[in-house]
Amino acid sequence: MSQSGTREGMLFVEVSRCMGCRSCEIACAVAHSASKDLFEALGEEPRPTSRVKVEAAEESAVPLQCRHCEDAPCVAICTTKALEKLGPNLPVLIKEERCIGCKFCIMVCPFGVIGLRADGKVALKCDLCIERLEVGEDPACVAACPTKALRFLPPNEVAAIKRRLTAAAMKDADAKAALVREKA
Amino acid sequence: MRSPEKRSMDPATIEMLRRVAECNVSVAWDRHEAMEPQCGFGSLGICCRICVMGPCRIDPFGEGPSEGVCGATADIIAARNLARMIASGAAAHSDHGRDIAHTLLMASEDEDCDYRIKDEKKLRALAKELGVATEGKELKEVARGVAEIAFSQFGQQHGELVFTKRAPEDQRKRWREQHVVPRGVDREIVEIMHRTTMGVDNDPKNIIMQGVRAALGDGWGGSMIATDLSDVLFRTPEWVRSYANLGILKSDEVNIIVHGHEPTLSEMIVAASRDKELLELAKSKGAKGINLGGICCTANEILMRHGIPLAGNFLQQELAIATGVVEAMIVDVQCIMPALGKLAECYHTHIISTSPKAKFPKATHIEFEEAHAYETAKKIVRMAVENFPKRDALRACIPSAKSPLIAGFTTENVYTMLGGRYRPSYRPLNDAIMTGRLRGVAGVVGCNNPKFTHDYGHVAMTKELIGNDVLVATTGCTAIADAKAGLMCPEAAEKYAGKGLQEICRAVGAPPVLHLGSCVDNTRILTVLSNMVAEGGLGQSIADLPVAGAAPEWMSEKAVSIGFYVIASGVYTVLGQPLPIQGARGLTKLVCDEIEKMFGGKFAFESDPIKAAHLMIDHIDAKRRALHLPGTMYEVPYPARTAQEMAQAAG
């Protein structure tokens, strides 16, 4: 938790779990609608837009959204200070009223996860559902993910999960190597 | 986890939800919460799995794909899916009707058949209607003639289903104009499956018109056959007193629950539960008797004809087992959760499946053979009785709640109910509406759905309607909800009804909410409405009547079929849960607006039951104005009217 009470963490994506259902995309658009209701959001103007996109990579599906970099190129390049990093493990946010739509941030983002609002006038990106984090909830995409391919966790927990996966993989590799040795 | 009070408004259900939470037993509400948030594409009806070039999804917010691999738009995809829902629903009701027709045929042919024709009067009336010769004929011969005609309706390839003749001529004219008069029950269902397969019908309106045709084949075909032939075989219901809710279970008797839909099974279980030999056996096992209760529509069937109490509605099926006092739950088809078998393992309850069409995990299967119906029923009841000693009294938990009720209303007894025995007629009903003592009639029907507070949709809507002088006719799980809430006793009129409806209930001794039976018995509502048109004074078609329909907590595909035959028969219908088509704007506009011009009825979606009741009342008032009828005779709470407005409305 930050001092303000906002949940801290990072989006952890397990590509092997993603079924490509795009529930995260719908949940994101609804979370950023005026009504926050699926059925009502459909009729809203401006049309609610998703900040997460599921991209295809051969057989796999990969949900992509802003990584909220600690040393964010988009923040560095933003001449009007529309983009702002709230603090370590906290989101990079955009102040729409400051944005002049120069699109430099789109250009420098290493992951291609910044887009434009439907009217094309200002940049559009994931805000980690800051309003939800403030009340202790997961971001909407995470809450909507039926297979838990998307999770919101503190970085040290993500590292712990990755270590366990690595350990399991190494054990398997070792066992296979032993088998090869035996056969030889 | 949501609190029991948020999950249900029914006291017995709330008590049992606390109990199952203590015991760490998960039920439908828990599984629903685990499923949240539910898939947006599915909710909006814009995913397609019809061919394997897909699965395809349309982006409802317009950024991603706007058409599937084949080029199908959201409207085409949602229309195909919706039509297939109608096909399933119509198939379910109609297969039920087919089974009843088969039983009647057996009863007419087989000397040793356990089923007998119990309602000769209705059989002869049907024979006359269907053109079966009756004079000088034996009852069985007449029955065979009727059964054969009923049977033929399913496979008929051309012409018009015979019961569509019961609809007002004006309504049939509308059907003919749109080419939706059903030719044969099965044919229309098959045609939906053909039209919606890859690369066939890709005009959303044309697809939906075939859906309407199949739905009409359900309402004015399969379901209507189920109702009428059940009346012939098992007797047309008459007013009957009974009780509703889990409180009907008994601590000192063998408790058997029948759950499902077809009365062919439950009727025999009723008989077997009264068998002397089995009652003796029960006594020898330490039980004082055999107590039968029902869940879902088979409950409504045996309530209407035998006064067997209602144990509960759809969402209470698991809770009944969790009472720990049910020796056997006997199931046949439809609305039976596959969760039951696993749940029953925690208790001594036997789940006994009986239909070759419906087997369930961890259930005992005893196939119900109509040719040896009574024998099979006895075998099943014996199994329950022998299970009684295994009951663990320490784990038993029977909720105290049960409400008295009066059920047993039919198209036939509306004549005598209001007109009396000497002048049986629909005139008093039509007169009551024409004078404004009664504002109109509403059919409130349908299922339970854990998306809504259990029973609240039904009960809140029903109370709002009767409070505004709208008589409510109800079936299925709505009927059970209303019965549990105490709305089906004459005293309910004093408590909840408007002054006009109150006067009628007092004069007749009827409750303000009429129980018309199971979900196939929604056809009784169709025939009541047709009789109201025929009686005269309320317009030329059902679409002219000051009536409305609703399914506040629906969940089943069957409800979609019902919804479509009801709107196509001219009735404005409000659904609590939207149809899964809202991602398809053109289609939504078609069924919620444009379709009214064709048939006189249309859908509206409103999850708040009070707001939904107001939509229905507004519609009823608009129809009253179109008929140049006066306003309500007495002041009503909605919409708030001044005395001056009342006087103006009265003209």
For residue B363, which of B383, B341, B392 has the smallest C-alpha distance? B341
DSSP-derived pairing of the beta strands B547-551 and B573-575? parallel
Burial B61-78 (b: 16+ CB within 10 A, else e): beeeeeebebebbbbbbb
Both tokens of B97, joined, read 């009707």
> The pTM is what?
0.92
pLDDT, tens digit (0-9, with 9 covering 90-100), for B471-507? 999 999 999 999 999 999 999 999 999 999 999 999 9
pLDDT, tens digit (0-9, with 9 covering 90-100), for B137-159? 999 999 999 999 999 999 999 99
- Residue B35 confidence (pLDDT): 87
Confidence tier at A45 by pLDDT (50, 70, 90): confident
Residue A152 to residue A133: CA distance in whole angstroms: 10
CA distance B601 to chain A (A): 23
Peptide bond into B639 cis (omega under 30): yes
Confidence tier at B456 by pLDDT (50, 70, 90): very high
Mean pLDDT of chain B: 95
pLDDT, tens digit (0-9, with 9 covering 90-100), for A83-98? 999 988 889 999 999 9
Residue A6 to residue A26: CA distance in whole angstroms: 24
Query: In chain A, which residues have their Cβ closer than 8 Å to the Cβ of B64?
Result: 22, 25
Read off the pLDDT of each residue in B214-225 and give the average, rounded to a whole number: 98
- Residue B535 confidence (pLDDT): 95
For residue B328, which of B247, B266, B402, B280 has the smallest C-alpha distance? B266
Looking at chain A from residue 39 to 68, which residues have their Cβ under 8 Å from any Cβ of chain B?
Answer: 39, 41-42, 47-50
The full DSSP string for chain A is --TT-----EEEE-GGG-----HHHHHHHHHTSSS--HHHHTT-SSPP--S-EEEEETTEEEEE-----TT-HHHHH-TT--EEE-STTS-EEE-TTT-----HHHHH-TT---EE-TTSSSEE---TTHHHHHTTPPPHHHHH-TT--EEEE-HHHHHHHHHHHHHHHHHHHHHHHHHHHHH-
Percentage of residues of chain B with pLDDT beyond 90:
91
Residue B564 to residue B4: CA distance in whole angstroms: 34
Helix (H, G, I), strand (E, B) or coil at B575: strand
Q: Would an 8 Å CB–CB cutoff place A142 in contact with chain B?
A: no
Residues 6+ apart with CB under 8 A from B268: B114, B368, B373, B374, B376, B377
- Residue B650 confidence (pLDDT): 62
Judge whether residue B640 has pLDDT over 70: no
Give the CA distances from residue B319 to residues A65, B34, B344, B452, B517, in Å, rounded to whole numbers and listed in that order: 44, 19, 10, 17, 23
Contact B43 A50 (CB under 8 A): no
Both tokens of B329, joined, read 């739950």
Judge whether residue A2 has pLDDT over 60: no
Which of B38, B39, B61, B75 would best serve as a mutation to test chain A binding (most A beta carbons within 10 A)? B61
Judge whether residue B643 has pLDDT over 70: no
pLDDT, tens digit (0-9, with 9 covering 90-100), for A120-173? 999 999 999 999 999 999 999 999 998 889 999 999 999 999 999 999 999 988
pLDDT, tens digit (0-9, with 9 covering 90-100), for B16-74? 999 999 999 999 999 999 888 888 899 999 999 999 999 999 999 888 899 999 999 99
Query: In chain B, which residues have their Cβ closer than 8 Å to the Cβ of A27?
Result: 37, 40
For residue B190, which of B98, B262, B97, B86 has the smallest C-alpha distance? B86
CA distance B338 to chain A (A): 22
pLDDT, tens digit (0-9, with 9 covering 90-100), for B76-86? 999 999 999 99
Residue with tokens 């802003």: A66
Looking at chain B from residue 53 to 82, which residues have their Cβ under 8 Å from any Cβ of chain A?
Answer: 57, 59-64
Confidence tier at B422 by pLDDT (50, 70, 90): confident
Contact B37 A144 (CB under 8 A): yes
- Evaluate whether A5 touches A134 at the Cβ level (below 8 Å): yes
Judge whether residue B420 has pLDDT over 80: no
